Amino acid sequence: MRAAFYQGSRTFTTGEAPQPTPGPDEALLRVRRVGICGTDLHIFQGHLDHRVPKGGVIGHETFGEVVEAPTGSGFSSGSRVVVEPVVSCGACRACGMGASYLCYQLKVLGVDLPGGMQEYWAVATKRLLRVPDTVSDDQAAVIEPLAVAVHDVARAQVKAGDSVLVFGGGPIGALIALVARHRGARVAVVEVNPFRLEILKTFGLERVGPDTDVVGWANQWTGSTGVDVAFEVTGNPSAARTVADVVRVWGTVSIVAIHAEPVPVNLYQMFARELVMHGSRLYARRDWEEAIRLVASGAVPVTPLVSRRIPLEALQQGMEEALGGGPVMKVLVEV
């Protein structure tokens, strides 16, 4: 079978690998779609070389079809499934608190362990969730980032009537905006990329473009009080510097982006308005179940986010283009 291998900084190759043999608690999947996301771009640039082995198979946003599964597992040949790519120890403090996705020994499939960028993949059946037939293959591949967004919006306790400002209109930022709007919030997205601004427009989302003073805009939008919740989803230090300035008294700042380096934040504003700041990472099982419901019911329209499908062989090129910051939203690898 074919698979894509990470060969060290900025290099992927495609080659042959032996077809995996599933263990007693595993199903064999035929992989159909794998999303490329910001984490994969960090891997591509060598930022996660301490976690991703040379020759490793990445891909944590996987949709596939079951080829074979153990009897009694609830899955059988032809089942359409997505993979919850987290492996936790079940015994540490985080696991005991119900935060197994933050396990102190957490392993992520497609980062620390082999992922979906291969034709066939053996996965523990307890990591699988069934996808309804009404959900298309492309939509199914966006369930993983949607589960992230569902988690982020829940953790920030976004309520109906809230004003929500999302810094960053890439796939995760757009999905946070769509989920928050579905919860009844008034939502705007700060974005600089014209291609992404155009897609946000097709969703009918309020947009704040590159030539706008964001703090001034937020004050005007909220009668000079500030927004209830601001999400930092850009990973850009200038957004981190601004994010606390747009939030109302007792409001919430949610850090979703990966900031690899420490960056300045306006702690005076944190103090003066008694803001709450929290991080938001990954998801729990209930977030996946909610994401599947939101896609299946059409409550969150994900299809316009898929800007392109590429073959496994084009992974290298796809990564380079995504890094270039060009006209790209979600890129899916069609395996």
- The answer to whether residue 45 forms part of the interface with Zn ion (CB under 5 A) is no
Residue 69 or 257 with smaller CB distance to Zn ion: 257
Residue 322 to residue 37: CA distance in whole angstroms? 9
Residue 37 or 284 with smaller CB distance to Zn ion: 37
- The answer to whether residue 89 forms part of the interface with Zn ion (CB under 5 A) is yes
- Which of helix, strand or coil describes residue 72? coil
Residue 323 to residue 128: CA distance in whole angstroms? 30
Q: Of 25-33, 34-42, 77-85, 129-137, which segment contacts Zn ion by CB under 5 A?
A: 34-42
Site for Zn ion in 1-30 (CB under 5 A): none
- The answer to whether residue 103 forms part of the interface with Zn ion (CB under 5 A) is yes
Task: Say if residues 9 and 320 touch (Cβ distance below 8 Å).
Answer: no
- With CB under 5 A as the contact rule, the residue among 29, 37, 48, 227 that binds Zn ion is 37
- The answer to whether residue 258 forms part of the interface with Zn ion (CB under 5 A) is no
- Which of helix, strand or coil describes residue 150? helix
Residue 203 or 283 with smaller CB distance to Zn ion: 283
Compute CA distances 334 → 31, 116, 119, 326, whole Å: 8, 11, 10, 21
Residue 83 to residue 144: CA distance in whole angstroms? 8
- The answer to whether residue 323 forms part of the interface with Zn ion (CB under 5 A) is no
Provide the 8-state DSSP code for 21: P
Closest approach of Zn ion to the CB of residue 95, in Å = 3
Six token digits for residue 285: 């099982």
- The answer to whether residue 281 forms part of the interface with Zn ion (CB under 5 A) is no
User: Can you spell out the DSSP letters for 34-51?
Assistant: EEE-HHHHHHHTTTTTTT
Task: Say if residues 150 and 127 touch (Cβ distance below 8 Å).
Answer: no
- The answer to whether residue 88 forms part of the interface with Zn ion (CB under 5 A) is yes
Compute CA distances 99 → 95, 104, 109, 124, 226, whole Å: 5, 10, 17, 20, 31
Residue 39 or 266 with smaller CB distance to Zn ion: 39
- With CB under 5 A as the contact rule, the residue among 92, 99, 263, 276 that binds Zn ion is 92
Residue 222 falls in the annotated catalytic set: no
Q: Of 67-75, 101-109, 297-305, 306-314, which segment contacts Zn ion by CB under 5 A?
A: 101-109
Residue 103 or 188 with smaller CB distance to Zn ion: 103
Q: Of 32-40, 47-55, 132-140, 201-209, which segment contacts Zn ion by CB under 5 A?
A: 32-40
Residue 42 falls in the annotated catalytic set: yes
End-to-end CA distance of the chain: 11
Compute CA distances 52 → 48, 208, 263, 278, 281, whole Å: 6, 36, 25, 27, 19
- With CB under 5 A as the contact rule, the residue among 52, 87, 95, 156 that binds Zn ion is 95
Catalytic pick among 11, 13, 14, 42 = 42
Q: Which residues are catalytic?
A: 39, 42
Site for Zn ion, rule CB under 5 A? 37, 39, 88-89, 92, 95, 103
